[in-house]
Copies of this chain bind each other. A is one copy, B any other.
Amino acid sequence: RTLDRQPMPPGRPRDLPKAAWIGYPGDYEIWLGNQVQNRRTERGAFFPPFWKLDNHYVLVDFRKSFDLPGPEYIQFQFQGRHNIKLDGKINLDFGTLYLQPGHHTIEIKVFNESSPPALYAAGTYVISDTSWQVTIEDKEWIDASGKASDKSGTVWQPAEPLPGDDPAHWRLATQPQAASRIERKKNGDLLLDFGKETFGYLHIHGGRGKGKGGYLITYGESREEALAINTSEVQDFVTFSDSGRIDTVLPMSRAFRYVRIMPIGTWVDSASMLYEYSPLAQRGSFRCSDTTINHIWDVAAYTFHLNTREFFLDGIKRDRWIWSGDAYQSYLMNYYLFFDSATVMRTLWALRGKDPVTSHINTIMDYSFYWFMGIYDYYRYTGDTAFIRAVYPRMVTLMSWVMQRRNKDGWLEGMPGDWLFIDWADGLTKKGELSFEQLLFVRSLETMTLCAGLADDPAGAGTYRREAAGLRTRLFTDFWDPRRQAFVYSRVDGQQDGKILRYTNMFSIFFGYLDEAQQDAVRKNVLLNDSIQKITTPYMQFYELEALCAMGEQEHVLKQMKDYWGGMLSLGATTFWEQYDPNEKGVQHYAMYGRPFGKSLCHAWGASPLYLLGKYYLGVRPLSPGYATYAVTPVLGGLKWMEGEVPTPHGNIKVYCSRTRIQVHAVTGEGTLQFKSKSRPVCKAAIRAVGNNLYELTLQNNNDYTIDYAAID
């Protein structure tokens, strides 16, 4: 019977619906995260993360029940050892199934240790997609008579689509790129300048030599770094026997603008690179009357694109790791540039890993909270409940781990192994209850409340709602200084420490936790108060500027942007940096972590103008999940005019705004355009005056609106 091979497959039907590789939710991302994060090297040495790396489930069961209207022929592909059960009977596997019309159930088990078990099925009616269910334990035993158990203990859930035609070897796109300038030294060394920061695989042309030897390659984000063979952060050494061939593409992708190639007993004719990038469409755009701001936006978009890879990375040169606090900002920027949900979901899954929880995400307390908040924002921008349902169980286990670490007052203090990061800044003590951590904790509990509702956990929703409300009230009891009208930095042994810093205060503004009087006080006493310690990282600038924008300080923020980001540009930056201090000079700008080239010159958190300009100048943001309703509130902030597009799940919202005219292209859903005008604005659509020079207009599906008005200074 083993020899009864199935007949040869007929010509494959045309116009098959599109099948996708499928796998167990969240597993591919964890596995891919291991691949990507372990690409970090430090001066040639492998440099993996210092937190627990989880892994995919090695055995996954897939199943689908369906009714066939006609005969069916299904071709399968697998990544892993597998079996196929058709209607309860194990089938000899020739990679295909012929089925008669009627009801069928297919159950497939796939085992794979080195990459996630994956399935691809292409039939006329039956294809692999998210209608398949998966589990990691079918618990299907038989008794001594051969009768199968009932399966009531088994948790099945929707399969997850995997990227590419070969998920185990999925790679980003590449294209050849030449250096813009090549210097040849007398000793044969080559120094390549690619004109701007870039990322990819070095391609060596015309390499040759005899016997032992090779090439030492030093990469530099700056020319100085590429030339500093003793201290440059990233190096490769290619031994001649390794390359052998005349043309060699190096196996590891690297970040650089400059590359120095030192042939040792060998010769190199030339070199170029394969630029590697995530092939995402840049849906958002921004142009305005200020050329510096336009330049900032372009460089921010490029910086962000370089760091948007398999995941949202912190920086492309050094860590190449997924850091939750960094990624949180990337999610937000993404909603104003690519609106790519896949990269957000991949990043969230990879960050979370598996149960049991043994530490905060990336070991950092605040980074656990950014993970929750990232889910909140993802739902707000995309309205994707399927993802919330899939990830909710891991939200519960992380939150319950966090809750178990509270002190007697219900607040979180640092325990052994907890990193309380907040920001790279001097003098941030980590003792006692830090108000910033408690604030994010409350926000995370609010996220849990929302998601519990979406994931059919009303009991959980109730608990989280009570906890969030109680703690939000007690934030003010415990950390608000009524005399100075601001949040203090921390409380030690139940006593406020009296120190006031920007962090808690600025977040509480765009969280909407302050009433108008409190907000005004914080603006004056903290945000616009130069005696309060300044922020030096683009990371926290992101939030500081967001808080100011949320209070209508767009004009002030525009100046800050031009100063800070414009400052980097005037130093020749082609991408934005991990940190920038205008007081530093020359190569001082490149040092960090005690190393002369330790700083990343292409850091995702440097790209925040993308978000600020889209959300607070063009003024586009969702009011209900997935842009079912949304706001358009253009604010020129001192610009003469601006125009741009903001992506949504239903297409792009387009905004043009000058001091006399506003034009909006609306999308499916209902938008509300809001603006101030000295005079009664003119538009074909109905405009509502809401008092105090404020006007509103309802934006309908896919319509274009033109409003003539008079801007107020």
Tell me the A residues contacting B by CB distance below 8 Å: 1-3, 31, 34, 38, 42-59, 81-83, 90-93, 109, 111, 113-115, 136-147, 149, 152-154, 216, 229-230, 235, 237, 264, 355-356, 358-359, 363, 397, 415-419, 424, 579, 592-595, 598
Contact = CB atoms under 8 A, between A and B. Distances in A.
Given A55-B58, A59-B49, A141 B363 contact: yes
Given A2-B235, A58-B55, A142-B593, A109 B48 contact: yes
Given A2-B235, A355-B356, 6 more contacts: A2-B237, A3-B237, A55-B56, A136-B358, A141-B363, A142-B593
Contacts of A356: 355-356, 397
Given A2-B235, A52-B57, A593-B142, A83 B45 contact: yes
Nearest to A236: B2
Nearest to A47: B83
- What's the dominant secondary structure at chain A's contact region? loop
Contact of A52 (B136, B235, B419): B136
Interface centre among A51, A59, A111 (most CB of B within 10 A): A59
Given A136-B52, A137-B52, A355-B355, A418 B153 contact: yes
Contacts of A237: 2-3
- Max count, chain B CB within 10 A of own CB: residue among A54, A145, A417: A417
State how many copies of this chain the complex holds. Answer: 2
A146 B594 contact: yes
A39 to B, nearest CB: 10
Contacts of A415: 153
Contacts of A230: 1
A419 B149 contact: yes
Nearest to A421: B141
B114 A152 contact: no
Nearest to A355: B356
Among A82, A113, A397, A579, chain B packs the most CB atoms within 10 A around the CB of: A113
A333 to B, nearest CB: 23
A598 B146 contact: yes
A482 to B, nearest CB: 34
Contact of A91 (B45, B55, B153): B45
Contacts of A142: 593
A242 to B, nearest CB: 14
A92 to B, nearest CB: 6
B595 A139 contact: no
A583 to B, nearest CB: 16
Contacts of A81: 38, 46, 48
A415 to B, nearest CB: 7
Given A34-B58, A356-B355, A146 B47 contact: no
A264 B3 contact: yes
A392 to B, nearest CB: 16
List of 4 A-B pairs having minimum Cβ-Cβ separation, nearest first: A153-B417, A146-B594, A152-B416, A153-B416
B44 A2 contact: yes
A55 B55 contact: yes
Contacts of A92: 43-45
A113 B34 contact: yes
A601 to B, nearest CB: 16
Contacts of A417: 139, 152-154
A53 B111 contact: yes
A90 B47 contact: yes
Nearest to A230: B1
Given A38-B111, A113-B34, A593-B144, A46 B83 contact: yes
A693 to B, nearest CB: 46
Contacts of A397: 356
Given A146-B598, A424-B144, A595-B146, A43 B111 contact: no
A579 B145 CA distance: 13
A148 to B, nearest CB: 10
A139 B57 contact: no
8 contacts: A1-B230, A31-B113, A34-B58, A42-B90, A49-B59, A139-B417, A141-B363, A153-B359
A114 B113 contact: yes
Nearest to A109: B48
B359 A139 contact: yes
A144 B595 CA distance: 10
Contacts of A114: 113-114
A47 B141 CA distance: 12
Contact of A50 (B48, B140, B229): B140
A231 B319 CA distance: 57
Given A45-B83, A416-B152, A57 B50 contact: no
A639 to B, nearest CB: 35
A46 B113 CA distance: 15
A45 B141 contact: no
B111 A48 contact: yes
Contacts of A363: 137, 139, 141, 153
Contacts of A416: 152-153
A318 to B, nearest CB: 12
Chain B CB within 10 Å, residue with most, of A46, A152, A216: A46
